Amino acid sequence: MQPENRGTDRLKKRIFDIIQIGNKSDTASRAFDIFIVIVIVINILTMFLETFSELEAWSGVFLAAEIVTLSVFCAEYALRIWTSCYLFPEEGRVKAALRFMRSPDGLVELLTILPFFFLTGMVALRMLRVVRIFHLFRINASYDSFHVITSVLYEKKNQIVSSVFIILVLMLASSLCMYSAEHEAQPENFRNAFSAVWWSMSTLLTVGYGDIYPVTTVGKLMAIVIAFLGVGTVAIPTGIISAGFVEQYTELQNGAPSADISLQTVVVDLDSAWIGCSMEDIERRFGFTVVLAKRGQSTIRSSSSAYRVEMGDVLVVFKGEQEDGCG
């Protein structure tokens, strides 16, 4: 390898390290992430302010900000294509560049740039400008706070899908019932079952816009029942996601593994040998590591040294190493 080629490769590798999102160990990379976030916010703010007719006198400033921020986006996109061989080292340079351009990150980068050149085109093309907002999500996805959210949604996806399915079924059933009760009294508002879907959505999701409402006695009674069901259906996915956050943050705080070791829930009964033991005793004697304990409405962390197991406690544990003998 020629010396100039080695120098170019070192430069390319250094640029790749800097532009990698979420590289916390590199000060320059973190500074670049912050810079890109600022540029995106300026670009989105400019796009927002351009919609105000009162600020038409500032159109030149907005255009200049648009051009500058777009230039940064273009430069970043070009650098990511240039350094894609380090992102996909198993591919050749051309194949790595094409693979990046076809990847979700590459498409977001491209859609961040393209709308500027089609501002006078179709509405659909102008709406692509909103894709720039997702650039922020892509940056945040590599940091812990956003990673916790995505992890919870992924781990609880089956429960969330099931709860959404229940909501959709209730929405369909309530719209059909309300159409049957209100069609004759309000044919202009409840023309068909689909017209009642808007009412059922706003009622079940507890929004209650009030633009469409029942006027018959049967319809009002049904609306009361559906409104109560709506509170419960909204609480289902909220509870699932909240429980997921508790699990994630508990694991982060206590260092409990979440991927390769499955957690178990143990309800302590009268015959349990764990009664009176501390969490350290349970780990030392029985080989179980306690992640957290619940007693009534109280949650006890694994770092609590004063805790002693009582009958009826609920423990979240995983199987660890067991010492020989019992004290």
Architecture of domain 157-249: Orthogonal Bundle (1.10)
Tens of pLDDT, residue by residue over 113-130, are 776 676 555 445 555 556
pTM of the model: 0.52
Tokens of 315: 């423990």
Residue 171 and residue 197 in contact, taking contact as beta carbons nearer than 8 Å: yes
Tokens of 231: 């509170």
CATH classification of 3-142, choosing from 1.10.3720.10, 1.20.120.350, 1.10.1200.10, 1.10.260.40? 1.20.120.350
Q: Write the CB contacts of 181 (distance below 8 Å, at least 6 apart in sequence).
A: 214, 216, 218, 219, 222
Tens of pLDDT, residue by residue over 138-176, are 555 545 556 667 777 777 888 888 888 888 888 888 888
pLDDT of residue 64: 92
More confident residue, 40 or 126: 40
Q: Confidence band (pLDDT; 50, 70, 90) for 323?
A: very low
Each as own residue / partner, the long-range contacts of residues 275-283 (CB below 8 Å, 24 or more positions apart, any chain) are 275/309, 275/310, 275/311, 276/308, 276/309, 277/308, 277/309, 278/305, 278/307, 278/308, 278/309, 279/304, 279/307, 280/305, 281/327, 282/309, 282/315, 282/317, 283/320
pLDDT of residue 61: 92
Q: Does the pLDDT at position 322 exceed 60? A: no
pLDDT of residue 68: 92
| Whole-number Å distance between alpha carbons of 105 and 140 | 13
Tens of pLDDT, residue by residue over 48-99, are 888 888 888 998 998 899 889 889 888 988 998 998 888 787 788 888 889 8
For the chain, the domains span 3-142, 157-249, 258-319
Tens of pLDDT, residue by residue over 19-32, are 876 556 678 888 88
Tens of pLDDT, residue by residue over 206-262, are 777 777 888 899 988 988 888 888 888 878 888 888 888 777 777 666 554 444 556
Assign domain 258-319 to its CATH superfamily. Regulator of K+ conductance, C-terminal domain (3.30.70.1450)
End-to-end alpha-carbon separation of the chain, Å?
66
Q: Does the pLDDT at position 298 exceed 80? A: no
